[in-house]
Structure 1
Amino acid sequence: DERQLQLQSQAPPISLKDVSNSLRARIIHVAPITNELSYDVIGKLRTMTDALSLDPQGFVREFDQKGNVHLKRWTDTHVLELIDLYKSSLNEIKMVTGLTDLKLAMKKIQNYGARIVVVTKGTEGSTLLFEGTFYEVLACKPRVIRDFTGAGDAYIGAFLAEFIQEKDPVWCSCVGSAVASFVVESVGPAVFGETKEIYKRAAGIYEKGLERLE
């Protein structure tokens, strides 16, 4: 489920003046695409929300002359001290931490201050760390797989929608998995699933039991 990405055109960086001083939100999710967000901008967003979530995808990308995307190490990790929730893919967390052992990498992220760490692994599900415990969350099975694009974004969007309602983070992960499974059934962000359908798929993996790892 690895994609080949190519940059066609790069937008300018997002500046402090681009962020409205009147912005207030219960949760803000930061998900750079091409390293367009600075520490100062993210720091400003931190003051405007109760919880700050990060997907570091844009910080671990570099582009060759043809615009092809490759992963790189991200060493300027001060941003991790600002966040409450972290979500990335398995390959991305390796680039952020420099560690290949998943549990050690997730613990390293949490040591910066994040209360919840989520790593998505495509068809192998996701791993969740909170309150010192690891959980293996199954991937919901889609009817058909047409395009993986946007699955990770759909996952964290659904996760956060449940999280702001103070739901159990394990349940939040199951809902994230369910929404992602609907997204991959079509090309592009065309299908997200109805609420009833989403909860049915989420309950299916929640009720099967989750592997708890000490």
Structure 2
Amino acid sequence: MKKEIISIIGNLILDRILIRDKCTDSRPGGTAFYSGMALAKLKANVQLISKIGADYPDRFLTTLTDEGINIDPVIKSKSKNSTSFLLNYSDNLESREASVPCRGPVITPEDIPRHINQSRIVQLGMVANEIDPEVVSLLDHDSIHIIGADLHFIREISDDGKITLGRGANFRPFMHKIDVIKGSFEEVRAFADTGNIKRALKKISSMGPKIILATDGANGSILYSKGTFFKIPVYRVIVEDTTGAGDIFLSSFLYFYGIKQDDLLKSAYLASAAASFVVEGNSISSLGKVEEIRKRAEILKP
């Protein structure tokens, strides 16, 4: 039996990480990379729809294909460089400042393969407003089981690469098509235009999403669905690098909820457990096997 497809739409990017005055060389990053690799480690059938520049190293693409990820829909632009991020973390890794030295090509409706609606799950993984909102209009809810998205679409990027949070006006008309949405407390409050997190979650729910995940770093997350709030704790580990943790939290939730058919709350615990492996290991390769993730999730249960 052929595995159900999870499609991730969003640009593969080049990250440089600054932690405690040490800066890494460029490394692969972005939601498409972190979520794709995490899902592949969980033995999911993953395809990436992305655009990269001529500067994107072939060895990073090989990393993806070595994990069995389908990158056939990835388009390499000859005229633009790839999107790049500089992530400057605080010493305790609890906060970071991000900037975008280079914005890559935009993903348009013409870039989306015709078979997209054969996917079981579609995850919208934009990082720098690189997805044309009209792409969402191509997604057929009668065919796709779950459409998930990150609130990164509210990011506004200035000419000098600074990131601020806006209102996501271009994506608001399509919110009714999104089933699961994830954002940090800061992003959720900004999008809903209210400082009260519970009021913000209710407001976003009224726009259409059935499930909302609001993350708050080491303080855990809140899941809101059908008028009920659930507190999701983190699995305590020694944190080495939090880059990609939010992406893996969302993609793991979509996998366990939409593919493995775990219930809502259990899927959130599993997502939290999955993210814990990555932040302690400083590498996507440290993601535990499904059995190990389930063991940590059991510990999180009240």
TM-score clears 0.5: yes
Deviation at 1:166, TM superposition (A): 2.3
Match of 2:134 among 24, 40, 51: 40
State the match for 2:108 in structure 1: 15
* Partner Cα separation in structure 2 for residue 170 and residue 19 of structure 1: 32
Alignment correspondent of 1:89: 184
CA distance in 1, matches of 2:140, 2:220: 29
- Which of residues 74, 98, 101 is equivalent to 1:5? 98
CA distance, structure 2, for counterparts of residue 159 and residue 145 of structure 1: 21
**Structure 1 residues 13, 65: CA separation in 2 closer, same or farther (over 3 Å shift)?**
closer
Aligned residue in 1 for 2:291: 196
Candidates 147, 168, 171, aligned match of 2:266: 171
**Matches of 2:197 and 2:122 in 1, distance apart?**
26
Q: Give the number of equivalent residue pairs.
A: 205
Preserved CA contact (<8 Å) 1:82 1:113: yes
CA contact (8 A) 2:148 2:178 kept: yes
Higher strand share: 2
Question: Is 2:240 aligned against 1:146?
Answer: yes
Cα distance in 1 for partners of 2:195, 2:133 equals 26
The one-letter code of the counterpart of 2:179 is: D
- Deviation at residue 46 of structure 1 after TM alignment: 4.0
1:68-127 per-residue CA deviation (whole Å, 9 max, x = no partner) reads: 323233233112121111111111111211111111111111111111111111111110
The runs of at least 4 aligned residues of structure 1 exceeding 3 Å deviation read none
Asked if residue 25 in structure 1 is aligned to residue 122 in structure 2, the reply is: no
Instruction: Give unmatched runs, 5+ long, in structure 1.
Output: 210-214
CA deviations over 1:142-186 (Å, ceiling 9, x no partner)? 2x2111110001111111111112211111110110011111113
Letter in 1 for 2:284: P
1:122 equivalent among 201, 208, 217: 217
Q: Is the 8 A contact 1:83 1:113 kept in 2?
A: yes
SS of the equivalent of 1:28 reads: strand
| Alignment RMSD | 1.6
Task: Give the whole-Å Cα distance in 2 for the aligned partners of 1:88 and 1:37.
Answer: 17
Letter in 2 for 1:157: S
Match of 2:33 in 1: none
In the aligned structure 1, how far is the partner of 2:210 from the partner of 2:158?
35
Structure 1 match to 2:249:
155
* Counterpart position of 1:102: 197
What is the correspondence of 1:48-87 to structure 2 with a 5 Å cutoff? 49-57=144-152, 59-76=153-170, 77-87=172-182
Aligned to 2:71: none
The higher radius of gyration belongs to 2
Distance in structure 2 (CA, Å) of the matches to 1:50 and 1:137: 24
* Alpha-carbon contact 1:146-1:186 (below 8 Å) kept: yes
Amino acid at match of 1:140: Y
> Structure 2, unaligned stretches of length 5 or more?
1-93
Aligned to 1:212: none
Which residue type is aligned with residue 167 of structure 1?
D
What is the alpha-carbon distance in structure 2 between the residues aligned to residue 80 and residue 168 of structure 1?
A: 23
Kindly, what percent of the aligned residue pairs are identical? 29
Which TM-score applies when normalising by structure 1?
A: 0.89
TM-score, reference length from structure 2: 0.64
Name the structure 1 match of 2:56. none
Partners of 2:122 and 2:115 in 1: how far apart?
14
What's 1:185 paired with? 280
